[in-house]
Amino acid sequence: MRDIRPPERRRERRRTVTEPPAGVDREALARQAAYEAWEPRSADTLPSAVPVGRTQEELLRAALTEGALGGPWERDFPRYAWYRTGDVVQEFRLAGADLGRYTGYTLHPSEWPEGLA
């Protein structure tokens, strides 16, 4: 009988913090990105926990400049960006076909990405 192996994974694991590719200007990414509000369809979704005095757009820009990023990269933008404030993590994910348009939501601690300390 032949040795059967699973196929090689071709893309990065979801919710894994990775380093951006060489030469990426995180400030430029933040200037080009835009936030799009998302209304969850499930009552089980955590309410958004945005720190007082900050908007989701500001958190997205902070996540892209100083937060954690996760691939795969799509047209020069990371699919995921995370920003942690204390014990709350906001996840921002590329949404739709528009370049640099993200939606965001609060993650439960069990959903935090690997590598986010």
pLDDT of residue 107: 87
Please give the pLDDT value at position 27.
94
Token couple for 65? 């400049």
Per-residue pLDDT of the chain (117 residues; tens, 9 = 90+): 566 766 665 555 577 888 888 889 999 999 999 988 876 666 565 566 666 678 889 999 999 999 899 988 888 899 999 999 888 889 999 987 778 899 888 888 888 888 776
65 phi and psi angles, rounded to 5 deg: -85, -40
Q: Which residues contact 26 (CB under 8 A, 6 or more apart)?
A: 20, 64, 65, 66
Query: For residue 80, what pLDDT is reported?
Result: 93
Q: Per the omega criterion (within 30 degrees of 0), is the bond before 72 cis?
A: yes
